[in-house]
Structure 1
Amino acid sequence: MRLFELGNGQWEIAELRLLLVAIIPNQSAMEKFEVETDVANSGRRTLQLSARTVHYEDTLGTTILLSFTAITDRRQIERDKQALQKRTDELLEQQKILLAEMRHRVANSLQIIASILLLKARAVQSEETRHELHDAHSCVLSVAEVQKHLYPAGGTGQVAIKPYLTKLTTSINGSIVGVQKSPACRDCRRGQHT
């Protein structure tokens, strides 16, 4: 029987006919040619075809050796992998947006706290309280600077440790020195800070 007549014509596939009738006679071989077809009792399947012309020494006739490899499951795994990769990329993008939003909100919150402390410092009568509020204001600004350095605008996920530690120690040192040299602080006036 002719191939296209096998299985009640289930191999009558346009791509397969093109392979056997047009391509193989001109090229003598074809590797990994993919087609999709409905296979009896199996449903829609993806097949990989390889074809090769076979010549016989004792006759002028030629035949075509045709091999089929079922790759339906492999293609499904590839599609699932692509879908999973796409979903992962989408989630990473959402995470990046949420992280940027969180950083922005933290920076704004620190700025608001610093502004409130400064306003309160201007409103109080006590010099000692005013100085303490200014110190607190400086500490909040130091935290904001460190936070800004930890989460740069580019969001590369990497922090240069030397500039970060330099900024951190400078900010901490500035806060501590500011507290130690407070003219309004009773302990500073008495020289009792250690």
Structure 2
Amino acid sequence: MDFKSLTTFIGSAAIMLSASISYAGDTGIGTINPANNACGFLESVGLKSQGWGVLAGGDYGCPSNMKEFGSASGSFERNDIRYYVISANGKSLTELKIFVNVNNSKDYASARKELLNAANVLMRNLGVESLPSQLSSAINTSSSKSLKINGMDVSLVKMPWGNSGNYSIKLVIN
């Protein structure tokens, strides 16, 4: 999938798990300068950056290559994960996002494992030893949850996809 397709990917009847991290002021990811230093944070889990550039919507950033995992079933495609680094001004970080699309809801266990692994690595790169147990538990049960981690507001939000049985989970950190 090319850079433009990846940044505009919407997905169909899939579970999207996203980690979005935003900060204001002079703490948190806003202090990672230049912002593109964060592009390699998840290479150790197979999410290699496609390089820094302008994203859809005019923000700057670097999406990772898509990594497929799990198994296809019937008309369902394999699951996939990707990582985005986003900067509104091209200099300081605005967001970090992890997306896991589960196209086969029967294979949610592999999606949970991929998200937990990537989220733990990302947090360690941001100076957090590991995910708090409340957040890990919420990811494991696909439950909505809000908490604070090292001054960051963290929310996990579950969003159903109609009657398909699939849904999205969005992890947002501000």
Bigger radius of gyration: 1
Q: Which has the higher contact order (CA 8 A, sep 6+)?
A: 2
Between Structure 1 and Structure 2, which shows a larger proportion of strand residues?
Answer: 2
The two structures share one fold, judged by TM-score above 0.5: no
- TM-score, normalization by structure 1: 0.21
- Return the structure number with greater helix share: 1
